[in-house]
Amino acid sequence: MKKIVKYAVINIDQCEAYVIMQDGGVATCHNNQEHMISEYYQDRLTKDMFGTERFQDEGIWGELGEGKMYCKDWKDKQEVDEEIIQDLIHWLYMATDKVEFVREELDFKNDEAVKNFIIEE
């Protein structure tokens, strides 16, 4: 039986996107004016991060940025595409068994929706 793993892709524009896994894993990608770059955060979003901060505020991203972060250059890419999104997903969730990734729609401007999407184990 396959395990269901939910994720959301938040497309800011053609050159920036976030992937959030239901376990709070988060990775981003953006164009640095030369090419695309992926950033993979080792720390996870938690529900208590949303006390006074909003998802799009610097506080949450600053807190994530205090931990380890890995980067990858996509020198042949200028915009977000499915290959980059799949790379973000598979970095955030290393499957050892059969997994079905299920994409959920998520309004990143609705902090309650983002907070409620995260399931802390």
Which of 64-68, 91-95, 110-114 is least confident?
A: 110-114
Cα-Cα end-to-end distance for the chain: 20
Residue 1 pLDDT exceeds 70? yes
Q: Residues 31-47: what's their mean pLDDT?
A: 93
> Which pLDDT does position 113 carry in this prediction?
84
Return mean pLDDT, the chain: 88
Dig out the tokens for 21 from the structure.
């896994």
Residue 98 pLDDT exceeds 80? yes
Phi/psi of residue 115, nearest 5 degrees: -60, -45
Q: Which helix (DSSP H) or strand (DSSP E) does residue 63 occupy?
A: helix 58-65
49: exposed, middle or buried (C-beta count within 10 Å: 0-12, 13-18, 19+)?
buried
> Which pLDDT does position 37 carry in this prediction?
98
Confidence of residue 121 (pLDDT cuts 50, 70, 90): low
Provide the residue ranges of all domains of the chain, joining segments of one domain with +. Answer: 3-107
> Which pLDDT does position 119 carry in this prediction?
86
> Which pLDDT does position 51 carry in this prediction?
63
